[in-house]
């Protein structure tokens, strides 16, 4: 597992192009999401092997239902472990283990206040991955897509123009 060191020893700000952490992130209306979702993917260059390896680890990290729900719980802002455990309906010890993995991968960060530790999302990137995964799940499960009413329209690509998703 990636131990929190960005590839080629770059800082988080260098990796994400300047996105900043927010105390509360709305999964439907984040302005940064609009910019990314409407970007033309034909402009992307192929990522280096280091980035591909780390990206696969992040997908693996988020492929756990408890960690998925933890990220969703933290979209509203920072929470203590007990509050997170209550929201995801899991024992506090289990949530602590999942938070440790999310913290090692720099998906979440902490703030200490006395004996309490508060967790928050480091940035909105993991939340964006989850948002897109849920939207893709809607395509797989439902005929009616909820996200078409809440998200900005994506850029039209040749796949969208031909009706292929």
123, 109 Cβ separation under 8 angstroms:
no
Nearest Cα neighbor of 80 from 99, 103, 65 is 99
Angle at 34 between CA 162 and CA 128, to 5 degrees: 95
Q: What is the pLDDT of residue 42?
A: 65
Tell me if the pTM is above 0.75: no
Backbone angles phi, psi at 116, to 5 degrees: -90, 145
Q: pLDDT grade, residue 147 (50/70/90)? A: low
- pLDDT tens-place string over residues 50-71: 999 999 999 999 999 999 999 9
Q: pLDDT grade, residue 33 (50/70/90)? A: very low
**What dihedral do alpha carbons 13, 15, 18, 23 form, nearest 10°?**
-70
Nearest Cα neighbor of 130 from 77, 61, 49 is 61
Average pLDDT over residues 10-26: 43
The mean predicted confidence, pLDDT, of the chain is 75
Secondary structure percentages of the chain, helix, strand, coil, to 5: 55, 10, 40
SS3 label, residue 125: helix
Q: What is the pLDDT of residue 90?
A: 98
Q: pLDDT grade, residue 140 (50/70/90)? A: confident
Choose between 10 and 66: higher pLDDT. Answer: 66
Q: What is the pLDDT of residue 32?
A: 43
Average pLDDT over residues 11-36: 42
Q: pLDDT grade, residue 45 (50/70/90)? A: confident
Distance CA 102, CA 132 (A): 19
């Amino acid at each position: 597992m990636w131990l929190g060191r960005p590839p080629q020893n770059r800082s988080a700000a260098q990796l994400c192009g300047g996105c900043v952490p927010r105390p509360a992130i709305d999964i439907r209306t984040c302005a940064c999401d609009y910019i990314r979702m409407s970007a033309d993917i034909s402009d992307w260059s192929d990522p280096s092997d280091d980035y591909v390896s780390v990206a696969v680890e992040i997908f693996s990290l988020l492929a756990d239902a408890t960690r998925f729900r933890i990220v969703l719980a933290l979209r509203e802002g920072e929470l203590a472990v007990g509050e997170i455990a209550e929201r995801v309906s899991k024992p506090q010890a289990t949530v602590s283990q999942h938070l440790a993995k999310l913290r090692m991968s720099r998906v979440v960060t902490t703030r200490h206040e006395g004996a309490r530790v508060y967790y928050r999302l480091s940035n909105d990137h993991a939340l964006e991955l989850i948002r897109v995964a849920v939207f893709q799940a809607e395509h797989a499960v439902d005929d009616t897509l909820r996200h078409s009413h809440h998200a900005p329209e994506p850029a039209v690509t040749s796949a969208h123009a031909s009706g292929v998703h």
